[in-house]
Amino acid sequence: MIDGGNYHIEIADRIATMYVIGKLPLSSRLIAVCKALPGTVEVLSVNLDAVDEMGQAELGAVDTMRTYWQRTRRGPFRVAFSLASATRSRSYKVRVGT
């Protein structure tokens, strides 16, 4: 397990799951997380159930991470969050993954 303060990462076989708690890190930190994962990791899953706010900036940061992951690893990228976490802040119309 990798612990980064407000997130931790579990790695099993070729899948890494990042659990974010509180404030979502900036795009540059999310890219650094991708770079730090072992080369054997093919699938990245990001769990946002415990994120305090999911606004336009946060969705943009997740999309930047997704783009980087798919460009460099060419592997699947998954995002999980509950409706309860999504409704804690204002909602925005953002298209992710164009």
Lowest-pLDDT range of 2-6, 56-60, 71-75? 2-6
Give pTM, 2 decimals. Answer: 0.79
The domain made up of 2-86 has a fold known as Transcription Regulator spoIIAA (3.30.750)
Q: Is 71 exposed, middle or buried (0-12, 13-18, 19+ CB in 10 A)?
A: exposed
Q: How far apart are CA 53 and CA 71, in angstroms?
A: 27
**Range list of H helices, 38-91:** 56-72, 83-86
pLDDT in tens, 5-62: 789 999 998 999 999 998 888 899 999 999 999 999 999 999 998 888 888 888 899 9
Which is more confidently placed, 67 or 3? 67
- At residue 92, the pLDDT reads 45
Q: Which of the two residues, 17 and 93, has the higher pLDDT score?
A: 17
Residue ranges per structural domain of the chain:
2-86
